[in-house]
Amino acid sequence: MTDIGSVWHVAREYAGVAEAGGVKDMVRGLAEAQARAGTAVTAVIPLYGFARERLVRESQPVASCTVQLPDLETWTLMADEPVTVREGRAGAVRLLLLDSPRFADKRDVYTWTADDERGNQHRRKGSGHWDVHHLNLLLQRGALEAAVRLGERPAVFHCHDGHAAFLPAIAREDPAFARHVAASRMVVTIHNAGEGYHQEIWDPRVAVLLTGLDAAVIGKGLLRGKADPFLVSASCARFNTVSEEYAAELLAEHDAEMAGGLGRAYRERGVPLAGITNGVDGDAWDPRHPERTGLPAAFDPGSGELEGKRRCREALVARLGPEDAATHPDQPLFAFIGRLTGQKGVDVLQAAIRILAESGDSPLFAMVGTGDSAAEGTMHALARDLRGRFVFVAAFDASLANLVYAAADFVVLPSVYEPCGLADFHGQAVGALPLVHAVGGLRKVRDGETGYSYGNQDPATLAGAMQRCARIHREEPAALDTVRRRAFREIFERHTWDRVHREGYLPLYRAAGA
């Protein structure tokens, strides 16, 4: 048992319910670890249209409220936005689902889909929702309304990323909530502080209307003239990011792309920023138990028993490809699973694969991910040109992604910057060693010990790093096996969510009440 009391996670994502990026895994993994420790845990998330039918069946209404937000045409007139709070379950975690017309018409967590584009040519597939700030404030003010109307006073509001980072300031400053949650501790986890991820509001006057905060409060949180939630709530919450290395990089902030001046602002204002490295759900990723993972066969990277991994590779080839992986079982299979964005380095990756192909050394490669039309088009072209060697699926399919991890020998993470990275953990858990650009949270991969890394972020360097991995796979199988065993062992000894909760977040929650 813990003595911290109830915890409410407020987020736009939750694995198994609303999925987009790594936030979903962190929120669910931490929430479930806290529930196992005896904490009463609630996750407050939107009820999106794409999940509405199932979740309405599996939940019941427990409260309702109205949130006032500016209309999208004038940005001055206020309109009522009705919200129904529905209660459901995800294992031991209670879900409070915020049901509103604005959430109900969304087919994706953050972006317009191909169906949206077909219905409205101005809604480009992969581009962000026009009403993103309304969605964010519906979540935050809806969560606080839910606490009031349910008569609950959470011990901790744990707010995830810029989408929920105004909440601490609203909770402290808005008279409608301040008295009710006066004793609640406020924590904000910054999952990504890169350009475009702050969820800042471009006009301070609009920020006043959206948040309900006084202009003076908004004025204290301006960054480059915009109302930045990471600054507006800086005096109302304890902040952390998702790895020690990223916290240090963010505060140093030599590159504007890293955080757009946020690190410098934190330094100048003396805002403490903790770094707590994310974890993994050992049960969900343990390949020794295919009844939990859904993999076609069991194997054990910790002991070197990999026959089941070979069977996973066969299953992947039969389902997806690449076909040459069947005729060349001795060649390593590389993989990438994630968003097709510049931050993730996919432009460098595709250029590196082109370099290798032109030299006659095209790798076996499987890619699963989504992005805008241009990014996906580039990968489809690569798959056509390297038929039999490179396969690409432009979708996020959890079961397919898990099979790709299990089948692969190496997972490539060429991120320009990376707050933590979970793909390296997932790969290590199933014997797919990470090859990472040594930045941010990816620095936790130790070259030659728990995976492999490279320094310069350019196609030639990445191509050389992939060639190095292939050579080690071919010429030094014993050394490769030693790295694989060590990486697997450390996942289950050092990086479980239970340990992250106990040694990272419990102390942070306590500090938030100091």
Q: Using an 8 Å Cβ cutoff, are 441 and 316 in contact?
A: no
Rounded mean pLDDT, 486-504: 93
Structure confidence by residue, pLDDT tens digits, 420-433: 888 999 999 999 99
Please report the domains of the chain, with CATH numbers, ordered by start residue: 7-279+498-512 (3.40.50.2000), 285-494 (3.40.50.2000)
- pLDDT greater than 90 at residue 414: yes
pLDDT, position 55: 93
Structure confidence by residue, pLDDT tens digits, 304-328: 999 999 999 999 999 999 999 999 9
The model's confidence at residue 293, banded by pLDDT at 50, 70 and 90, is confident
pLDDT, position 391: 96
Q: Three-class SS of residue 331?
A: coil
Rounded mean pLDDT, 283-287: 88
Residue 511: closest CA among 239, 169, 233: 239
Cis, bond preceding 322 (omega within 30 deg of 0): yes
Length reported for the chain: 514
CA dihedral 68, 73, 75, 78 (to 10 degrees): -30
pLDDT, position 372: 82
Rounded mean pLDDT, 403-410: 96
pLDDT, position 398: 83
Q: Using an 8 Å Cβ cutoff, are 346 and 371 in contact?
A: yes
pLDDT, position 500: 95
The model's confidence at residue 1, banded by pLDDT at 50, 70 and 90, is very low
Structure confidence by residue, pLDDT tens digits, 326-340: 999 999 999 999 989
Q: Using an 8 Å Cβ cutoff, are 241 and 230 in contact?
A: no
434 forms beta bridges with: 411
Q: Using an 8 Å Cβ cutoff, are 279 and 497 in contact?
A: yes
183: CB partners within 8 A, 6+ apart: 153, 155
Residue 415: closest CA among 426, 407, 423, 425: 423
Q: Which two tokens stand for residue 180?
A: 């009710």
pLDDT, position 373: 83
**77: amino acid identity, one letter:** L
Structure confidence by residue, pLDDT tens digits, 104-155: 999 999 988 889 889 888 888 888 899 999 999 999 999 999 999 999 999 9
Determine the Cα–Cα distance for residues 341 and 508; give it in Å rounded to an integer: 32
pLDDT, position 514: 61
Structure confidence by residue, pLDDT tens digits, 196-251: 889 999 999 999 999 999 999 999 999 999 999 999 999 999 999 999 999 998 88
Rounded mean pLDDT, 174-188: 95
pLDDT, position 125: 85
DSSP 501: I
Residue 42: closest CA among 139, 163, 157, 138: 157
Q: What is the mean pLDDT of the chain?
A: 93
Rounded mean pLDDT, 268-293: 91
Distances 105 to 111, 131, 462 between C-alpha atoms, Å: 12, 12, 41
pLDDT, position 504: 95
Q: Which two tokens stand for residue 99?
A: 């049901």
Determine the Cα–Cα distance for residues 385 and 476; give it in Å rounded to an integer: 31
pLDDT, position 121: 83
Structure confidence by residue, pLDDT tens digits, 379-406: 999 999 999 999 999 987 888 999 999 9
The model's confidence at residue 2, banded by pLDDT at 50, 70 and 90, is low
**201: amino acid identity, one letter:** I
pLDDT, position 458: 96
Determine the Cα–Cα distance for residues 292 and 411; give it in Å rounded to an integer: 22
Express the helix, strand and coil content of the chain in percent, nearest 5 each: 45, 20, 35
pLDDT, position 21: 81
322: CB partners within 8 A, 6+ apart: 333, 364, 365, 366, 388, 389, 390, 391
Structure confidence by residue, pLDDT tens digits, 6-47: 999 999 999 999 988 889 999 999 999 999 999 999 999 999
For the entire predicted model, the pTM comes to 0.90
Determine the Cα–Cα distance for residues 98 and 1; give it in Å rounded to an integer: 29
Element (H, E) at 185: strand 185-190
Q: Which two tokens stand for residue 337?
A: 């699973």
Over pLDDT 90: what percentage of the chain?
80
Q: Using an 8 Å Cβ cutoff, are 337 and 404 in contact?
A: yes
